[in-house]
Amino acid sequence: MAHGPSEEEPDTSESRTAREQTAESGPSPYVPAGKSVAELTIKAVAIGLALNVVMLTANMYLGMRSGMTISASIPAAVISMGLFYGLRQAGIGGTILENNIVQTMTSAGEALAAGVIFTIAGVTFLDQPIDIVNTAIVAILGGLLGVLFMIPMRRYLIVDKHEELPYPEGTACADVLEAGSRGDEGVKLISFGFLVSFVYMWLASGMAAFRTTIQTAFSAGETDGFAIGGDFTPALIGVGYIIGPRIAGYVFGGGLIAWMMLIPLLITGGFVPESAADAALMTQADAVWDEYIRYVGAGAMIVGGFYAVLSMRGTIADALGTAVAEIRGSGAAATGERKRTQRDLPMKVVVVGAVLIALALVAVPQVQVGLLGGVIAVIAAFLFVAVSAYLVGVVGSSSNPVSGMAVATILIAALALRSTGVSDPVVVLVTASVVAIAAAVAGDTSQDLKTGYLLGATPRNQQIAQVIGIAISALFAGWVLYFFHQAYGIGSETIPAPQAGMMALISEGVLTGTAQWGMILIGAVFAFVLILMDVPVLPFAVGIYLPITLATPIFLGGLLRAGIDRYVARKDDEDGSLAEHTTSRGRIVAAGLITGEAIMGIVIGALYITGIGNAEGAPFPLGLGGQTQTILGVVAVVALVGLFVASVLRNAPDAADR
């Protein structure tokens, strides 16, 4: 935890300079701070912008169809590596830091897409049209808030908390880029992981050869509604391996409390929506989770978010002190004394930019949130930027509950606006949109900054690249959303947009007084108990909010990490070099698993957009029965785990051989 200046060391510009110069004592970056390497070039920006629009379009479609988006950083890095390889063959070089800029810009489109489709798309459920200009303005304001508010938190989350927050996609992306740059066995490892994951997901999603989701519900005595299962995809298992067993266990623990305690109690007590009352237990459990448990998770995240910001009070105070020092013209940042790898965008830009965005939220007619809505949006954005940036460091961008943060914002905004006589749920949705987009972008930015930290990139260049990427994404977002609504109809069977529908429903529910405040209170009390027990709140809250099918494969990945580490520890010598070697191999293979699934997600999305596979879900289904698919799914998971473990331990030297 960061702390403010102590009494023994006044917070002078000299002491602050000393802290800045000694803060980065973590791992040695791939590119040393004293070395100048091509980074934010025209070539990198051009490639990044092209990939940005592609990922924006693919993720908006996939998100509205399935309710989840894919992390774009790793696939963007892989695609960029291929493009730069082709350019090198033509005599045009490219550096590892240019690759990093490309993936930074590309992932901005994916992040902004998540915020837009989870909130702004909800206006269609309120019988309102998609406003292209309104969408662009809200998207760019929210996206810029996400980048700006992340800047003062970078040193605390990325540098100071390096060992505590692994940032799985950011770390994996750095492994990908380093492996490609070195050209050693790392390329073979990540290629193996990529190929296994790519084929696995093609068989599952492209041909419906087996089911990745295996789940069941059961009764115990007179209590109904116990549910367990998992969506055993390579990416989620890879994320679990990277974050490790401790954090994965917290997420899984939250899922167990929700699905093995709260849901059975509610079903037994008769809290089952009428539409699912006569359905199977699994359907009832899903309905109760959707109707009630999400509110419990949202309540826990609200308290956890406030506690996270309170825990970062020293960092916030230090950031404000740095801003004051820069304005006065003193301190390392103002005098240019920081190392290249420590240089962020000036704090003057952060402060002035945040003020201008706050004014725009109130003054620009297309935004329509008013003074109170603007104040709520900025404050909530600051809060959930911190929460999102912390959470993705724990569970990764793919499991970042942006929709949960949007729900929390809707609850707060709708309650406040209702007290002033506002009855239009669209105003509430737009307010939440700013926050959701800021939170999604902040999570993505923090992953990219982690990659840059490990590679030795210049944070300022990455932040500029992120701003450029957000600007182009925002300009296209409204048009893409409008196109899909005209082509398929948002809320249709093809693109049901489940989160957007839920946001619209909650907005109306709060304004009409039908929201589940009791469940929110339960989540808040639960979070307070966890704080008193000194247990991380946010990973547990994420576990409650997410389906158990996401928490289980993450936990499986964590267990694989624990098992492999224990096996290696018995063979290791005192210097721990074998354990370090094996952990590095595992992370690279896990990065390949994440990459393969992400790329396949883009392929499937492109096929859907062209109209292939919309009728039956898979583009080329084999026509197998449900029971056969389930059995083959179990076999596939076992094979996936076996291949992963074998690849990590293969050719690992014994202590006696070294």
Tens of pLDDT, residues 273-284: 887 878 888 889
* Residue 588: per-residue pLDDT: 78
CB neighbourhood size of 437 (10 A): 35
Average pLDDT, the chain: 80
pLDDT of residue 133 exceeding 80, the answer is yes
Q: Is 68 exposed, middle or buried (0-12, 13-18, 19+ CB in 10 A)?
A: middle
For residue 2, pLDDT beyond 50: no
Q: Residue 485: pLDDT above 60? A: yes
Q: What is the pLDDT of residues 640-658, one digit of tens each?
A: 999 999 998 876 555 444 4
Cα–Cα dist 82/88, whole Å = 10
pLDDT band for 345, please (50, 70, 90 cuts): confident
- The more confidently predicted of residues 573 and 410 is 410
- Record the tokens describing residue 362, joined without a space: 């109130």
Q: For the chain, what's the residue count?
A: 658
Rg of the chain's alpha carbons, rounded to an integer? 24
Is the predicted pLDDT of residue 504 greater than 90, yes or no? no
Give the separation between CA 200 and CA 116, rounded to whole angstroms.
30
In angstroms, the CA 210 to CA 201 distance is 10
Lookup: tokens for 585: 């191999």
Residue given tokens 């390329």 in the structure block: 187
Point out the least confidently predicted range of 451-460, 467-476, 604-613. 604-613
Weakest mean pLDDT among 15-29, 41-55, 311-325, 575-589: 15-29
Q: Which DSSP category does 161 fall into?
A: T
Q: What is the pLDDT of residue 320?
A: 64
Q: Please tell me the predicted confidence (pLDDT) of residue 23.
A: 45
Q: What percent of the chain has pLDDT over 90?
A: 19
Answer yes or no: are the C-beta atoms of 547 and 263 closer than 8 Å. no
φ, ψ of residue 297 in degrees (nearest 5): -60, -40
Rounded to an integer, the average pLDDT of 256-266 is 92
pTM of the model: 0.73
Residue 22 clears pLDDT 50, i.e. is over it: no
Mean pLDDT computed over 26-45: 84
Q: Is 494 helix (H, G, I), strand (E, B) or coil?
A: coil
In angstroms, the CA 203 to CA 621 distance is: 9
Residue 215's SS3 state is: strand
Query: How far, CA to CA in Å, does 133 sit from each of 130, 217, 359?
Result: 9, 46, 18
Residue 290 above 50 pLDDT?
Answer: yes
Alpha-helical segments (H) within 547-625? 548-569, 577-609
Residue 208 or 546, more confident:
208
Residue 211's pLDDT band (boundaries 50, 70, 90)? Answer: very high
